[in-house]
Structure formats: structure tokens, C-alpha cells
């Protein structure tokens, strides 16, 4: 009997090295005991390392490596043996990994699926709390109880997502720490080692309560996506029972409530959302950009404008539509009789995408993945502002709002109904007008743009009475 000892519960590299040696030596799965403990001087304990058969070597499908790397994080103690059994079978059945009806393959795929789900839940439900240490630099600590051995594998995500702050995530398995430069891992912790709360939680609760929509309440779907076992470590879930209980009354109240009545809470929630967006790393554009450029305007605005992305000047100033396109936009608004100060102006993509050319930064069009990654922010802005009419300035904004690729020519000047019941009107982006070289054509297109904005003003008057 061979004993293969791995360093940790998630020691994929150790398992791979041991499995390779054992498989090359043609050791049967039933003749191996897999265990986790202190790394021994000899991977195989008191046994001599198995001798490979002369000239023995093998290759396995990449799909198996990917499956093994994920499934090995499952908490099932049989995972090491199951993966080795599949490896041995692949030596004689190379296409087995594609047979999803095979019981062994299916079981390991279900394990990998559970691991991926657990990793997603950790990313969604970790809540950091600030340590109260007088005179010390801010540090944040979170407590999380994973189902599987995912903490080490998930650490890089949190390092990227919260790169600008020092933090620790404590779990019953191990702890992970980020000092702003490097990750480190420590021993297991208890719930008592993490702080119970911090002052920012009240702001977060206000934001959460403000975006809770009783008209769309589906308790079953909510608890499926956010299982109750996670609630005890999330500050906002303390509100859930009360929000559910008062949903019917709130739904009736929403019909009668005016924006003025809820404006105070909406402003607090918007500020919390803007602060969260400042640390956004949902796509790689945050790396070269100076800062997140969030929307601006009154939170009770009845008219929202969505552009493409910030430009060079917006990136430096942190405000939308202040560069050449923004100045033309302001001129067109005035010509149409719209006061920009009464509107909410934002962008579909919150970071400046550019190509460096010498000392200049040249605008680069955002791609589909970047638009999709940033759509969450637009959705949250719309939830808070609740504008009856939203104008998409250009194709990028239209894709973000409508969730599909459209052409300006096919959608311009026609109302599109959004998922929340609001209307979306599509027109050109002001930068399009700046790129027209022929003066007569530029004047004509500017006139059409003003006509679009005038029609928007008239439609808004009809919608709001």
C-alpha cells in the first residue's frame, strides 16, 4: 500500500506530482492512500518513490487538468482518489473526459461545479469591516465560511479587486492577508477574531434599503441566490426580514411617493455607490486610467444621458462630459432648451480606454466585454435615479442600455422600452459631430442632433405631465 501525503487540502501541485509518479509506475488506485498533513521528507512516507516503467510517459487532455485543478478544492475526502482513478482510466480511454454520462466524470464535474459556485459566493458575499486602531493606517477584515477549500484559489481575485487597501479574510480553514503589495497566508481563525461592525455599515444599509424593490420581490429566488447561511456575516441581511415583511406596504407607498420624499436617502445611497465605483476592477481598464469617472447630476433627475466613456480631460478631472465633446453637448442642450443642471449625465464605461502615442493618449473604443462589465454600474445608477426617459448617446451607450448591439440609423428617434419600464431614446454621440470634416455636413448633423434633443424634451414633458 502506498501512502501519498499532500501539504494542504488544496495542494494541486503536490497531487499532480504524486499522481504522475504513481501512474507512470502503474500503481493501481486501490493501492494508494491519500492523506493531508505535514509535508514529509519523502512524498510517499516510508515507501520508496515508485519506479516508472522504462520509457513510460503519457499526456492527458487539457480538460482533465482544468477539471482536476478545480475539483481538488472540493471538501469531499475522496477527491484525490477519484481524480487519480480518472487519470488512470484516461491512459487507456483518452476520450473519457468527454463522456459526461460516465458516473466518475459526472461526479467530478458536479464537484467542480460546486467549487465554482462557492468561489462565486465568496466573491459576492465577503464583507470587509474596518479595524478601529487609533493612529494606525486603515485596515479591513472580513470573516467568511467557505463550503470548500477555495480561499487560496480566490485570493488573487480579492488582491486585484481591493488592490488599494490593506485587508485580511479570516476563515475556519486559513487566513489570507494583503498589504497592498503581496499576498500572505496564515492559520485558521474564528469568528471572534473579526470585528463585529464599523461606521460605514449604516451607509451601506441605507444604500441596500434604497435599491430594494418590493414590486419585484421573489423570496424564493432571493434565498436561492443568497442562501441564508451567509446572512449572519453580511450587514445588509439584518434588514431583509423587515424589508420582506413591509414589502406590500412599501409597494403601495412607492406609487404615491415623490422623488422629493426619498431624495435624501437616494443621495446617500448614490454617494455610497460612487465610492464603491472608485475601486472598480471589473475589467482591465482601471489599470492605466487615472480614476473612475462616475455620473453626476441630481438624484431625482427625470432625464438621464448616457455617453460612451470618459475622454482624456474627463479622466484627469473625474467628471463626465467636460472635454470638447462635452462642450458641444452643452451647446446643443442649450439650443434645445434643456438645462444640463436638471439632468443626470454618465457614461456606459467608467474608465478611459486609450492608446498612448508619445505624450498623448488617444481614445480607443471600448469592447463588448468592457461594456458588459460596466453595465452593472449603469443599472445601479438607473435604480437610484429612476428616470422616466434615458438618452443613449452613441452605439456603445445603446448597447449598454438595451443589452444588444444596435445601429444608430435603425433606432434613432424611436422610443425603446427598457426592462424597468422607462424609455430609451438613441441618438449620436457629440464626438461624432466633432469628427466630421466637411463644415456643411457638420452643421447639418449638429442641427439633427439638436432636433433629437428637442424631441426628447417634448417627450419628457408628455411622460411627466
| Nearest residue to 314 (alpha-carbon basis) of 399, 457, 395, 430 | 430
| Nearest residue to 186 (alpha-carbon basis) of 171, 201, 175 | 175
Which residues have C-beta within 8 Å of that of residue 60, sequence separation ≥ 6?
87, 90
User: Do 390 and 400 touch, CB atoms closer than 8 A?
Assistant: no
Which residues have C-beta within 8 Å of that of residue 264, sequence separation ≥ 6?
none
Tell me the average pLDDT across 59-79: 96
| pLDDT at residue 457 greater than cutoff 70 | yes
Rounded to 10 degrees, what is the CA torsion of 130, 133, 138, 141?
-40
Report residue 175: phi and psi, to 5°.
-120, 150
More confident residue, 33 or 259: 33
CATH number of the domain that residue 341 is part of: 3.40.470.10
Q: How many CB atoms neighbour CB 176 within 10 A?
A: 22
Q: How many Cα neighbours within 13 Å face the side chain of 385?
A: 28
Give the per-residue pLDDT at 465: 76
| pLDDT at residue 308 greater than cutoff 70 | yes
| Nearest residue to 372 (alpha-carbon basis) of 404, 332, 414 | 404
Helix (H, G, I), strand (E, B), or coil: what is residue 302?
coil
CA pair distance 57, 301, nearest whole angstrom: 68
| pLDDT at residue 255 greater than cutoff 50 | no
Residue 280 and residue 248 share a domain: no
Q: How many helices (H) and strands (E) does the chain have?
A: 17, 14
Name the least confident of 243-257, 372-386, 388-402.
243-257
Q: Which residues pair with 183 in a beta bridge?
A: 178
Which long-range contacts (C-beta less than 8 Å, at least 24 apart) are formed by 61-66? 61/90, 61/94, 61/97, 63/97, 63/98, 64/90, 64/97
Q: How many CB atoms neighbour CB 335 within 10 A?
A: 15
More confident residue, 142 or 328: 328
Residue 251 and residue 267 share a domain: no
Which residues have C-beta within 8 Å of that of residue 108, sequence separation ≥ 6?
67, 71, 79, 82, 83, 86
Tell me the average pLDDT across 293-309: 96
| pLDDT at residue 165 greater than cutoff 90 | no
| Nearest residue to 349 (alpha-carbon basis) of 302, 388, 395, 294 | 294
CA 347 remoteness from chain centre: 18
Q: Where a domain ends, among 193, 219, 238?
A: 193
Residue 269 and residue 221 share a domain: no
CA pair distance 107, 241, nearest whole angstrom: 37
CA pair distance 177, 320, nearest whole angstrom: 36
Give the per-residue pLDDT at 259: 45
Residue 362 and residue 454 share a domain: yes
Residues of 345-372 as b/e, b for ≥16 C-beta within 10 angstroms?
A: bbbbbbbbbbeeeeeebebeebeeebbe
Residue 250 and residue 262 share a domain: no
Tell me the average pLDDT across 326-346: 96
Give the per-residue pLDDT at 208: 54
Give the per-residue pLDDT at 40: 47
- C-alpha triplet 455, 410, 462: angle, nearest 5°: 25
Q: pLDDT band for 58, please (50, 70, 90 cuts).
A: confident
Residues of 303-322 as b/e, b for ≥16 C-beta within 10 angstroms?
A: bbbbbbbbbbbbbbeebbbb
Residue 327 and residue 414 share a domain: yes
**Residue 165 class from Cβ within 10 Å (0-12 exposed, 13-18 middle, 19+ buried)?**
middle
| pLDDT at residue 66 greater than cutoff 70 | yes
DSSP state of 228: G
| pLDDT at residue 334 greater than cutoff 90 | yes
Q: Where a domain ends, among 148, 175, 193?
A: 193
Q: pLDDT band for 191, please (50, 70, 90 cuts).
A: confident
Give the per-residue pLDDT at 397: 97
Residue 297 and residue 283 share a domain: yes
- Average pLDDT of the residues of the chain: 85
**Would you say how long the chain is, in residues?**
465
| DSSP output for 29-92 | GGGEEEEESSPPSSTTTTSPPPPPPTT------HHHHHHHHHHTTSS-TTHHHHHHHHHHHHHH
Q: Where a domain ends, among 70, 95, 120?
A: 120
Write down the pTM of the prediction.
0.49
Residue 173 and residue 284 share a domain: no
Please count the structural domains in the chain: 4
User: Do 400 and 375 touch, CB atoms closer than 8 A?
Assistant: yes
Name the least confident of 115-129, 148-162, 195-209, 409-423.
195-209
Residue 151 and residue 248 share a domain: no
Residue 131 and residue 180 share a domain: yes
Residue 145 and residue 105 share a domain: no
Parent domain of 81: 2-120
Report residue 381: phi and psi, to 5°.
-60, -40
Residue 248 and residue 264 share a domain: no
Give the per-residue pLDDT at 451: 97
| pLDDT at residue 218 greater than cutoff 60 | no
Amino acid at each position: 500500500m502506498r501512502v501519498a501525503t499532500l501539504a494542504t487540502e488544496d495542494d494541486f501541485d503536490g497531487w499532480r506530482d504524486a499522481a504522475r509518479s504513481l501512474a507512470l509506475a502503474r500503481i493501481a488506485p486501490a493501492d494508494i492512500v491519500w492523506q493531508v498533513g505535514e509535508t514529509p521528507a519523502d512524498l510517499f512516507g516510508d515507501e520508496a518513490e515508485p519506479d516508472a516503467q522504462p520509457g513510460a510517459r503519457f499526456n492527458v487532455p487539457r480538460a482533465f487538468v482544468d477539471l482536476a485543478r478545480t475539483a481538488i478544492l472540493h471538501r469531499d475526502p475522496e477527491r484525490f482518489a477519484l481524480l487519480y482513478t480518472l487519470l488512470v482510466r484516461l491512459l487507456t480511454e483518452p476520450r473519457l473526459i468527454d463522456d459526461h454520462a460516465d458516473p466518475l466524470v459526472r461526479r467530478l464535474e458536479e464537484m467542480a461545479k460546486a467549487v465554482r459556485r462557492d468561489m462565486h459566493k465568496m466573491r459576492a458575499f465577503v464583507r470587509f469591516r474596518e479595524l478601529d486602531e487609533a493612529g494606525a493606517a486603515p485596515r479591513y477584515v472580513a470573516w467568511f465560511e467557505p463550503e470548500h477549500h477555495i480561499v487560496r484559489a480566490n485570493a488573487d481575485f480579492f488582491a486585484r479587486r481591493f488592490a488599494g487597501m490593506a485587508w485580511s479574510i479570516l476563515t475556519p480553514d486559513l487566513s489570507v492577508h494583503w498589504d497592498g503589495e503581496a499576498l500572505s497566508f496564515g492559520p485558521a481563525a474564528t469568528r471572534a477574531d473579526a470585528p463585529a461592525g464599523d461606521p460605514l455599515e449604516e451607509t451601506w444599509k441605507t444604500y441596500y434599503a434604497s435599491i430594494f424593490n418590493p414590486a419585484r420581490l421573489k423570496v424564493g429566488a432571493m434565498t436561492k441566490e443568497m442562501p441564508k447561511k451567509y446572512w449572519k456575516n453580511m450587514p445588509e441581511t439584518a434588514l431583509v426580514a423587515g424589508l420582506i415583511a413591509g414589502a406590500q406596504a412599501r409597494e403601495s407607498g412607492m406609487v404615491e411617493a415623490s422623488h422629493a420624499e426619498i431624495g435624501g436617502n437616494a443621495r446617500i445611497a448614490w454617494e455610497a455607490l460612487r465610492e464603491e465605483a472608485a475601486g472598480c476592477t471589473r475589467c482591465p481598464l482601471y489599470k492605466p486610467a487615472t480614476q473612475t469617472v462616475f455620473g453626476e447630476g441630481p438624484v431625482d433627475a427625470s432625464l438621464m444621458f448616457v455617453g460612451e466613456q470618459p475622454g482624456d480631460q474627463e479622466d484627469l478631472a473625474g467628471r463626465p462630459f467636460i472635454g470638447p465633446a462635452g462642450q458641444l453637448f452643452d451647446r446643443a442642450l442649450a439650443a434645445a432648451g434643456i438645462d444640463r443642471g436638471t439632468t443626470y449625465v454618465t457614461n456606459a464605461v467608467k474608465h478611459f480606454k486609450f492608446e498612448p502615442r508619445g505624450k498623448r493618449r488617444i481614445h480607443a473604443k471600448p469592447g463588448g466585454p468592457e461594456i458588459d462589465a460596466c453595465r452593472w454600474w449603469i443599472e445601479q445608477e438607473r435604480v437610484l435615479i429612476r428616470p422616466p426617459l434615458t438618452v443613449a448617446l452613441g452605439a456603445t451607450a445603446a448597447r449598454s442600455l438595451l443589452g444588444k448591439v444596435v445601429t444608430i440609423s435603425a433606432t434613432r428617434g424611436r422610443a425603446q422600452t427598457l426592462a424597468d419600464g422607462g424609455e430609451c431614446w438613441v441618438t449620436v454621440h457629440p464626438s461624432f459631430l466633432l469628427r466630421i470634416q466637411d463644415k456643411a455636413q457638420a452643421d447639418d448633423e449638429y442641427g439633427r442632433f439638436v432636433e433629437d434633443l428637442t424631441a426628447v424634451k417634448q417627450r419628457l414633458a408628455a411622460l411627466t405631465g
